Structure 1
Amino acid sequence: MSLLTIYHQIPKRYILSILGFFGMLTASILRSNLSIAIVAMTTPTLEKSSINTTTILAADYNWSSTTQGYILSSFFYSYCAFQIPAGFLATIFGGRILFGGSIGLCALLTLLTPVCARSGPGTLIYLRILEGLCSSCVYPSLYAVWSKWAPKNNKSALVTVSFSGAYFGTFIIMLLGGVIAADWSWEWIFYLSGISALVWAVVWFPATIESPATRQNILVEEVLYIEEGMGKTISQKDAVPWKDILTSLPVWSITAAQFGTNWAIYAIFSELPTFLVESLDFPVDTAGLLAALPWLLLAISVYLTGIISDKLVEKYHTLYVRKLIMAISFTLIASSFLLITLLDASNRVLIVMGVIIVMGACGPAWASSGVNQLDIAGRYVAVLMGISNSIGSTPGFLAPMITGYIVENPHLKREWNIIFIISIVICVLALGCYLCCAAGELQAWALNNNDEYEPMLDYPISSRDITLGCYLCCAAGELQAWALNNNDEYEPMLDYPISSRDISERSFE
C-alpha cells in the first residue's frame, strides 16, 4: 500500500485538526516573537575576546520602557478591533482561505521586522498594527472551518487539539527565542518564525478543502458521518442575526469566561519574568525556563480537556459538562492566586507552583468556553468568536497597563499582591456570569433565518425552557378521559407514555 493510498484513508477531519494545530502554533509564534526579541534588542551584551577580556557591547536600540510598551501593545489594538469584521467575513466567505491567508500574510510582514526596527519605533509600531490586523482573522476563521467539519461526538477533541497549538507555540518561542538571539542574532527570531509560517501556508491550501460537502478527496462515509445532525451551511444570502446574537445571554457568558481566562493568562504572561527576577530573585536564565513551562502545561491541559469533555458529553448533558469544567477551572485559578497572595516572597517554590497551577487551570476553562461557542452558535460561530475574542483579548494590553500603574517597585511583593487580588475578583465574576447564563444547545437564532422560527422565543433557549413551555401549554389538572374507562375510543389519543424529558428531546429532533 503506497503512502498516497494511506493518506487518502486518513479521515480528513483529523488531517485538518493536525494542520490547524501547526497553523495556530505558527500564528502564536508570529504574535509572541517580538516579546522575546525585544529583550535582546534593548539589552547590552558581553563579548569575550581570545585574551580573556570582556567587552560590553551597546544595545542595538536604546528604547525606553514606555516606548517598548507602545511597541508591544500595538499588536493588540488592531487585533481586538477587527475581530468582529473578521468573524463576519469568515461566516460569509468561509474560513479556509481566510485562515491560511492571514497567517501567510502575517508571516511576510514578520520578515520585514528587522528592516522596520532600523527605521525607528514608529515604523515598527505600524508594522505590528498590520500584523495584528492579519492575525485578527485567525481565531474566527478556524472556528468557521470547524463549524462545517466538527461532528458532535468528537467535536471537543478536534477543536481543542487544533487550538492547543497556540499555547505550544508560545512555549516554543519562550524556550528557544533567547537561545536563537544569543547564538545567532535577534533578527533570526523573525526570519525563522516567518519562514516556518510560510512553509505551513504552502502545505495548508492544497491539503484542505472548505467543506466536506464538496466531496473532494474525502470518503463518502466520512461525509455522511460529519453531515449527520449538522445544520445547513450558511450562504451569502443569509443575514447574520446581529440583534439576537448581541442580546443573547449565553453569548455574553462565554465572553465573560473568555475575558476572565485571558486576564489570568496575560497577567502571568506579560509580567511573569519580571516578577520572578525582581520580586523572587531568580536568575534570568532560570526565570526564562520557569516562564516557559506553564505554557506547556496549558497546552496539554487544553488537549486533555477536549478528550475528557467528549467522553462526558456521551453520558451527561452538554451544558452540565461545560459548567462543571468551568467551575473546577476557575476555582483552581482563584485558589492559586489566593495562595500566591498569602505566601511570603521567601516561599519561592510554592509561589512558582501556584503560578503553574494558574496557567494549567486556564486550559480547561478556555477549552470549555471555546467549544461552547460551537454548541450554541453553529454556523455563526465565527461571528460569535469575533465578538468574544474582541472583548476577551483586551487583557492583552489592559493587564500590562494596570500592572505598570500599580507595581511601581517590582521588588515589593505586596504591590504584586494587588494584581493577584484583582485577578481573583475577575475570575469569580466571570465564573458567576457563566454559571448563571450559559447554554449548551444550539440557540434559536442559529437554527435558520426562516420566519417560522422567530415566534418560538425571543430570548436564548435551552432544553429546560422548552420542557417548561410544553408543560405550561399542554398540562391538565383534571382526571383524563382515558383514565375513566378502557373503551377503545380513547386508545388512539396516545399509544405510549410521555414525559417532560421526552418532549424536551423531541423538540429538537
Structure 2
Amino acid sequence: MRRMIPKRWVLSIMGLFGGMNLASLRLNLSSAIVEMVTASPRGLVEKVHQNASEYHPEFSWNANQQGLALGSYFYGYAVSQVFAAWSGRKCGRARVIGIYSLTASILTMLIPVLLREHFGIFIAARLLIGALSGSYSPLMHGMWGVWSPVEERGKHVSLMSMGYNSAAALVLVVSGYLAEKYGWEYPFYCTGAVGFIWSVIWIFVIYESPKEHPGITEDEIKLIDASVGKEIDTNRERKVKWMDIFKSTRVWCVIIVSFLEHMPTYIIILLPTYVQSTFELGVKESSFLSCIPLIARALADFTLGWLVDWIISKGYRTSKVRKGVYFTGNILAAIALISLTQATGSVVATISCYSFQASTSAVTAAGFKASVIDMAPGFSGVVFAVSNTAGSLMGFITPQYAGILRVANIKDQVMGWDVLFLTGSVLYAVSAVCFMLFGPVDVEKWAKRRSDQGESGQSESTRLVTKN
C-alpha cells in the first residue's frame, strides 16, 4: 500500500506555495511599473525599430503618484492583520485564507481594467489586495498552533518564509521579463492566475484542524495531540482575552522585537537603489544583483528550520534553542551591516555582505516567529497579527528614514548609507538582547485550557507542566 504524505506536510507544502503567491501579488507592480510609467534610453533604442508606439509609456505619473501606487499595498497589508486573525477565529482560518486569497487574485487580474478606468479605483484595488494578503501570515500561524508538533514548527514556519523569499527573487526577474516582452499587463494576469489556481486547490484540500480532516490517520492525530499537549487551548471558538494578552510582558517583548528587527530587514528592499547610486549600474544589473540576497535567505530559511528542530529533538529546551539561534543570527546580521560600511569599493563585497545579513537574519522564522506559536498555540494568529502590524510600520519608516539621511548628506551619499546601516546594526543587537531576556519561555497562562484552571488560576498539574 502506497504511503500517503502526512496531512500536516500537505499543509506545509501549500504554505510554501502560499508564501510564493503572497510575494507575487505584492511585487508584481514593482517590475511592471518600469514599463507602465518610464522607459529607459536603452529600451527606446531597442524598440525604435519595431514600432514607434511601443516606446511611449501609457501613464504619466509624477513621483508622488508612483510612490502611492507602490505603497498602497503596504497600507492595506499593515492595517488588516488583527481583523484577519479575528475573522479567522470566527469563520475558520482555512476558509478565510482561501476566500481572501481568491478575491485578491481576481482583483490582481482585473488591475489593468481598473487602472484604465481611473487611478483612484486602481489605488483602492491595491489597498484591498494588500489587506486581503495581510491575512495570510497571522492565519497560517494560527493554523500551525493547531497542526504542528512543537519539534516541527521551525520547519513549517521556515518553509513558508522560504516560499516568500524565493518567489520575491523569481517575481522580480520574471515580471520584468513579461512586462518588457509582452506588456505591463501580463505580470498582473500571470500572478493573479497562479494565485487563483492556488486558492482553489487550498479550498479543496486544506482543513481547519487535524480532527476535521477526513483523510488523516489516527496515528498522525495522536502525534499532534501528544506534542501540542492537552493542557493547551486550541479551540478557536474561545473568546480572546485581550486584557490578558496586552498585560503579558512576553507579548510586549514580541511586539517590540518585531518592530525593531523589521527596520534592518527592510533595508534589503533598498539594495537596488544602493547599488545603482554607489556603483552606477543599470536597472537590469541592479535588479539581478538584488535577487542574490533573497535566494541566500530562502536557502537559509530551509536549512535553519531543519537545524533548529533537530536540536530541539535532541532534548534541549525549546525556548532556549529559539532564543540562542535568534540571538546569534541577529548579532551576525548586525556585523554584516557594519561590514557594509567598509564595502563601498566593491560590488562583490557589497552583495556578499547583504547576502550574509539576509542569511543570518533568517533565524527570525525558526527562532522568533515559531516562539509566538510556542507561547500561545491557540492564540498565535492573534499575537502574531499584533506584532506583525507593529513590524509592518517599518515598511513605511525605513524608506523615509533612508531618504532623510540621503538628503541630509547630499554632498556625501556614502555617509547617509553608512548611518542607515549602523542604525540597522544597533536595532538588530537591541532586538537580540530584548528577546533573549524577555522573550517567550513557556505556554502563557491565558493560553491554557479553561478546564485546567481553577478559580484562582492554574491547577497544580498545569503549574508543574509550565515549570518543566
- Asked if these proteins are the same fold (TM beyond 0.5), I'd say yes
- Secondary structure in 2 matching 1:123: helix
Provide Cα deviations, 1:450-478, integer angstroms capped at 9, x if missing partner.
59356448xxxxxxxx9xxx9xxxxxxxx
The corresponding residue for 1:97 is 95
Output aligned runs, 1:352-371, within 5 Å. 352-371=351-370
The corresponding residue for 2:35 is 40
Contact 2:236 2:378 in 1 (8 A): no
**Shift of residue 380 of structure 1?**
0.4
CA distance in 1, matches of 2:389, 2:147: 24
The corresponding residue for 2:271 is 272
Provide Cα deviations, 1:76-133, integer angstroms capped at 9, x if missing partner.
2221112111112223332111112211111011112112322343222211111111
Output aligned runs, 1:42-441, within 5 Å. 42-44=37-39, 45-46=43-44, 48=46, 57-230=55-228, 231-236=232-237, 238-269=238-269, 271-314=270-313, 315-343=315-343, 345-408=344-407, 409=410, 412-441=413-442
Change (3 A) 1:79 1:51: closer
Which amino acid in structure 2 is aligned with residue 245 of structure 1? I
Which amino acid in structure 1 is aligned with residue 281 of structure 2? F
Which amino acid in structure 1 is aligned with residue 347 of structure 2? R
**Shift of residue 412 of structure 1?**
2.1
Which amino acid in structure 1 is aligned with residue 203 of structure 2? F
CA distance in 2, matches of 1:294, 1:121: 34
Contact 2:233 2:447 in 1 (8 A): no
**Shift of residue 47 of structure 1?**
5.1
CA distance in 1, matches of 2:47, 2:109: 32
Change (3 A) 1:160 1:56: closer
Change (3 A) 1:284 1:506: closer
Aligned length: 459
CA distance in 1, matches of 2:148, 2:411: 46
**Shift of residue 164 of structure 1?**
2.1
Q: Which structure 1 residue ranges, 5 or more long, are not aligned?
A: 458-465, 471-501
Change (3 A) 1:411 1:71: farther
CA distance in 1, matches of 2:391, 2:133: 15
Change (3 A) 1:162 1:48: closer
Deviates more, 1:97-106 or 1:111-120: 111-120
Q: CA RMSD in A?
A: 2.6
Provide Cα deviations, 1:184-205, integer angstroms capped at 9, x if missing partner.
1111000000000101111111
**Shift of residue 15 of structure 1?**
0.9
Which amino acid in structure 2 is aligned with residue 277 of structure 1? Q
Change (3 A) 1:24 1:453: farther
Contact 2:158 2:365 in 1 (8 A): no
More helix by share: 2
Change (3 A) 1:57 1:437: same
Change (3 A) 1:291 1:183: same
**Shift of residue 59 of structure 1?**
2.1
**Shift of residue 508 of structure 1?**
6.2
Contact 2:325 2:363 in 1 (8 A): yes
Change (3 A) 1:71 1:452: same
Which amino acid in structure 1 is aligned with residue 445 of structure 2? A
**Shift of residue 406 of structure 1?**
2.3
Question: Which has more radius of gyration?
Answer: 1
Provide Cα deviations, 1:243-292, integer angstroms capped at 9, x if missing partner.
111121222222233233322222211x2111111222223222111101
- Secondary structure in 2 matching 1:127: helix
Contact 2:234 2:377 in 1 (8 A): no
Q: Which structure 2 residue ranges, 5 or more long, are not aligned?
A: none
Change (3 A) 1:118 1:215: closer
Which amino acid in structure 1 is aligned with residue 8 of structure 2? R
CA distance in 1, matches of 2:147, 2:387: 21
Deviates more, 1:103-112 or 1:409-418: 409-418
